[in-house]
Every structure is written in structure tokens, then in C-alpha cells.
Structure 1
Amino acid sequence: MDIFLIILAFVTLLIALVGSIVPALPGVPLAYLSLWLGRWSGYTPFSDTFMWIMAGVTLAVFLADYFLPPLIVKKLGGSKAATWGSILGMILGMIFTPIGMLLGMLLGAFLGEIMYAKRSGYMALKAAMGTFLGFLLGTGLKLLLCFYVLYELVSTWWATGFGGF
């Protein structure tokens, strides 16, 4: 059962890594779940203090991912039209590739500003860049958390002798 939990922890973490980029998957909560799966296995003895700290970090990254992009867009002069346009563009762009997702987000924010907020081309481009910067910052934080969780799982699993393999 312990080996199954370790494998499940790593599979969950791989899904979390994908979820750090694809908005449809909750990457950060899945990364935290992988810590719990590792802890329940008995081969990664994370302390209560560590789990509480990671709960706080997970919550902070989760909230930052939702609140930072709109704040950055607003700071750079964008409107809600840029935010909604970027979300729609990202969803439509996911059909094509990760690059399509990024381009769709930029184009959606730009068109949202031009068509609905009636902004000039310069202001629309500035808002689109703010959307892109917010996305990169949120994604970077999520990936950083996931890679840290991966490090913790691997290093503690290694220290316990590979969980009996």
C-alpha cells in the first residue's frame, strides 16, 4: 500500500505540473495533495509544522495566481475587457498548443481592449502585455511550488531508502 501511495503522489504531482500551465487543472492544490499522499505512505515523514507551512504557501500561491494578473493589468491601464478577453483567448488557444494558449491570451486581451473598452492600440497593447506578465508570474509561482514539492518528495524518499524498492 505504501508503494502505491508513493506512486500516486508522483502521478498527482505530474498532473499538478501540467495544471500549473493549463488553467483547467488545479495544479497547486494537487501538489499539496501529493505531499499528503507521500506523508500517508510512511516513507516521507513530513512533520505537522512542515505541512502547515506548506498549506500556507499553497494558499498564498493559489490566491496570488488569481489576484496578481488582474492587478497587473489594472496597474498597466487595462480594463476588465482585457482580463476577460485574455481568458477567452487562452481557452480558445489551448486547442492549438501551449504557444496557441499564450498567443490567444495576448490577442484576446488586445482585442478586448480595442473592441469593448474602446482603447487606442498602444493602450490595448500595454494591457495585453500586462495580462501576459501576470500569467507568467502566476505560472512561475505555481511551477516553483510544484518543483519544490517534487524536491521534497524525492529527497525524503531517497533518505528513507527508496521506500523499500
Structure 2
Amino acid sequence: MDIVLVIMGFLCVVLGVLGSILPALPGPPISWVGLLLLYLTDTVATNWWFLGITLAVVIIVSVLDYTIPIAGTKRFGGSKAGMIGTTIGLVVALFVPIFGLFGIIIWPFIGALVGELINKSDSKNALKAAFGSFLGFVASTMLKFIVSIVYLGFFIKTTIQHGSSWF
């Protein structure tokens, strides 16, 4: 049963890293579930302090995931339309590989710009607001990605430390 929990946990942690970039998946919470599954094995001693602290980090990051883009948009004079455009741009980046890997960066900016142009008449202000919305999105995504990568590191380290006990 331990092997099944470790495999499921690893899949969750990897899916969490992907989810930190993809808007449809909550990356850090999925990564945390992967850590929880690892600590539910008989081989790894359950460390409730570690699990509690990592869960608190997930909750804080999840709250910041919503507040950082709003703050970036407001700071640069943006609107809700710019934030919606950023999200639509990211979804487009997943399905339209025109810009390759850079599409994940370019499409959200284009989406924010289009959203702001629809909402405002002044192109200069729309460009500034789109940039703010984009910066907030990038900051939020990077925070989620870093947390998910750290959780992946915790998972791998703990798995290696206890790996010989499973066979």
C-alpha cells in the first residue's frame, strides 16, 4: 500500500507543479495533497508540524493568488476586464502554440491589453493597465510555481531518505 501512496503522492506533486502554471488546476493545494499522501505511508513518520506549516503556506499562497493580480491591476489603473483578459490570454496560450513557450508570457499580456482596450478608450492607459495586470499575474504564478517546486523537492528528499524501506 505504501508504494501506491508514494506513486499517487508523486503524481499529485508533479500535477501541482503543472497546476501552478495552468489556470484550471490549483497547483499548491494539489502539491500539498501529494506531501500528505507521502506522510500517510507506514514508512514515513507523520510530522503534523511540517504538514500544518506547509498547509498554512498553501492557504496564504492561495489567498495571495487572488490579491496580487488585483493589486497589480489597481496599481497601474487597470480594470476587471484587464484581469479577465489576462486569464483568457493564458487559456489561449494553452491551445494556440503560435509563440511556443513564450506564449505563456505573451498571450496573457495580449489578453489584458484587449480587455483594457474594450473597457477604456485611451490606448496609453490601456497599455499601462494591461502591463499592471500582466505583472500581477506573473508574480502570482511565480509564487505558486516556487511553492510547488519546493514541495516537489520536499517530496523527493523524503522519498530518497526512506526509499530503501519500501523494498
Which structure 2 residues correspond to residues 102-113 of structure 1 after superposition, within 5 A?
A: 102-113=105-116
| Shift in CA distance, 42/149, structure 1 to aligned 2, threshold 3 Å | farther
* Shift of residue 121, structure 1, vs aligned partner: 2.2
* Shift of residue 93, structure 1, vs aligned partner: 2.7
Please, what TM-score do these two structures have when normalized by structure 1? Answer: 0.90
* Shift of residue 164, structure 1, vs aligned partner: 2.1
Instruction: Return the match for 1:141 from 119, 122, 143.
Output: 143
Q: How many residues align?
A: 164
Letter in 2 for 1:32: W
Contact 2:40–2:46 (Cα < 8 Å) also in 1: no
4+ residue runs over 6 A deviation:
none
**Corresponding residue for 2:124?**
122
Give me the whole-angstrom Cα distance separating, in 1, the residues matched to 2:118 and 2:131: 17
* Shift of residue 103, structure 1, vs aligned partner: 2.2
**Corresponding residue for 1:155?**
157
Contact 1:44–1:153 (Cα < 8 Å) also in 2: no
Contact 1:85–1:109 (Cα < 8 Å) also in 2: yes
Give me the whole-angstrom Cα distance separating, in 2, the residues matched to 1:163 and 1:135: 42
Which SS does the other structure have where 1:22 is aligned? Answer: coil
Which SS does the other structure have where 1:94 is aligned? Answer: helix
* Shift of residue 75, structure 1, vs aligned partner: 0.7
* Shift of residue 58, structure 1, vs aligned partner: 0.4
Give me the whole-angstrom Cα distance separating, in 2, the residues matched to 1:23 and 1:44: 32
**Corresponding residue for 1:80?**
80
| Shift in CA distance, 122/43, structure 1 to aligned 2, threshold 3 Å | farther
Which SS does the other structure have where 2:10 is aligned? Answer: helix
Please, what TM-score do these two structures have when normalized by structure 2? Answer: 0.89
5+ residue gaps, structure 1: none
Higher relative contact order (CA 8 A, sep 6+): 2
**Corresponding residue for 1:58?**
58
Give me the whole-angstrom Cα distance separating, in 2, the residues matched to 1:141 and 1:75: 19
Give me the whole-angstrom Cα distance separating, in 1, the residues matched to 2:155 and 2:129: 39
Contact 1:157–1:163 (Cα < 8 Å) also in 2: no
**Percent of aligned pairs sharing the same letter:** 33
Give me the whole-angstrom Cα distance separating, in 2, the residues matched to 1:43 and 1:131: 46
